Amino acid sequence: MKLNNACKIISPVLFMITIMIILPAPLESTSNEIKFYGFAEIIKYDENGNVVYSQTVHNRLLDAGEDFINDQVFQDSATSADNVQVAVICIFQGTIDTAETETATTFDGDNTLTEANCKEDTAVATASSTAVIGPLTFAAGGTNAANGDTIAAIGICQPNAGSNADSTDCATNGILFAVVDTTDVILNSGETVDITYTFDLSSSGT
């Protein structure tokens, strides 16, 4: 009798689980998802050159960045010489706005760093459908930030057409392509961070 009752309980449960196995989950299909994305890797070193933290985190590709891609790929009235194509990483202190409408001007306006916080990679590596800016090394002590400043985000920008030197803001150079909201990393005297930005266009079919 007990076995009968157990069967009467277990059978419906098994039938239900079987139905749950057969029925597909009402998830959005991921096959149509846009595959390309950008991400930054930030590595912090102490004053002795030892790694104390590393983080890999995705970016927010901005409207201006999407327009820039279209302008570069398709023939229209907008042209861009090779020396003003995206190649700069700017470190940022403050509260980052990751809305897609963020611009270089608002990025600079919110950035409380006053040193030459933007660095250019004069030879961005492009291969296998990816572009890699950096690693670029940012230092405290007045070089790219003051001692004790906090890197809260990074911006990816166009370079200055007239100079490869470190610069103080993104807007002077051109558009803000993407932003990355990183963990708040404090740069004390002697400490540095290496930042690499990767933009990956590879798809599963290529």
Partner 1 sequence: MSNSPSFHFLEKNFLFNSKTILVIAIILFTAAFYFYGTSNSLLNQAVDPFTSPNWDEVANRNIVKNSIPIILLDETFGGKCLVSAENFSLITSHQYFLKSNQLSNELKYDSNEKTLLISCDKLVGEKSALNVWYATEEAKKHPTKYEYFVTEWNVELNEK
Q: Which is nearer to partner 1, 57 or 171 (CB)?
A: 57
Report the alpha-carbon distance of residue 73 to residue 67 in Å, rounded.
Answer: 10
Does residue 123 touch partner 1 according to CB under 8 A?
no
Does residue 204 touch partner 1 according to CB under 8 A?
no
We find the least distance from the C-beta atom of residue 78 to partner 1, in angstroms, to be 27
Which of residues 2, 27, 79, 206 is near partner 1 by CB under 8 A? 27
Which of residues 31, 32, 47, 54 is near partner 1 by CB under 8 A? 54
We find the least distance from the C-beta atom of residue 81 to partner 1, in angstroms, to be 30
Does residue 121 touch partner 1 according to CB under 8 A?
no
Report the alpha-carbon distance of residue 44 to residue 52 in Å, rounded.
Answer: 6
**Distance between start and end Cα atoms, the chain:** 62
Amino acid at 15: F
**Angle CA 107–193–87, to nearest 5:** 50
Count interface residues toward partner 1 (CB under 8 A): 46
Does residue 1 touch partner 1 according to CB under 8 A?
no
> In this chain, which stretch among 38-46, 77-85, 120-128, 142-150 interacts with partner 1, using CB under 8 A?
38-46
- Residue 193 makes CB contacts below 8 A (sequence gap 6+) with 42, 43, 44, 45, 91, 137, 138, 151, 185, 187
Report the alpha-carbon distance of residue 89 to residue 130 in Å, rounded.
Answer: 17
Does residue 75 touch partner 1 according to CB under 8 A?
no
We find the least distance from the C-beta atom of residue 122 to partner 1, in angstroms, to be 22
CB distance 44 to 193 below 8 Å: yes
Residue 128's region, left for phi above 0, alpha for psi from -120 to 50, else beta, is left
Does residue 181 touch partner 1 according to CB under 8 A?
yes
Q: Which parts of this chain interact with partner 1 (CB under 8 A)?
A: 3-5, 7-12, 14-15, 17-28, 30, 33, 37-39, 44-45, 49-58, 181-185, 200
